[in-house]
Amino acid sequence: MENLTDRGQPAYLRVIMLLLGVPNMVTGAWALASPQGWFDNFPGWAPALVAAYPPFNDHLVVDAGAGLFASGLVMTAAAVWPKRDIAILASIAYLAFALPHAAWHWVNPSDQLTASEDVVSTASLVLAVVGAAFVLAWQWRKIHVKGEVSA
């Protein structure tokens, strides 16, 4: 069996993982610490994207915050401990949250946002999916196509 714990992750891959992970951790922590504040104000400037999908529900906001925080935590951990097996697991876990989230927004535009606001919001979610899929594909290719153990 191949060694999936090699530490040779390229810097650009670690940067992508941090760019995906840290914002989700911060956003999730905000939703957990102040559910109403997060609902009313996310992302911190206009338009308030979450408030565009009323009504407020404390339970659902806390659940969303926990999912955001968890997906961000595993992706950040993969950047900090750059081992291939961690990066693969983190990418899969991140995509398990990000893909259905992006898909939902793709097919459910808010009537409280302009068309361009909806496009920008959904595009940012799709970009996160593409980033996580890139990390996963890079790891997968290294193992299954090239058969390499070191990055």
> Is pLDDT at 32 greater than 70 in this prediction?
yes
Q: Which tens digits make up the pLDDT trace of 1-26?
A: 344 445 568 999 999 999 999 999 99
Q: Which tens digits make up the pLDDT trace of 118-147?
A: 999 999 999 999 999 999 999 988 777 655
Taking a C-beta distance cutoff of 8 angstroms, is the pair 30, 38 a contact? yes
Q: What is the rounded average pLDDT of the residues 54-73?
A: 98
Asked whether residue 140 is domain-assigned, the answer is yes
- What share of the chain in percent tops pLDDT 90? 85
Number of domains comprising the chain: 1
Query: E strand or H helix at 106, and its extent?
Result: helix 84-107
Asked whether residue 1 is domain-assigned, the answer is no
Asked whether residue 3 is domain-assigned, the answer is no
Residue (of 116, 120, 109, 97) closest to 27 by Cα position: 97
Asked whether residue 139 is domain-assigned, the answer is yes
Provide the residue range defining the domain that includes 53.
Answer: 11-144
Tell me what pLDDT residue 133 has.
98
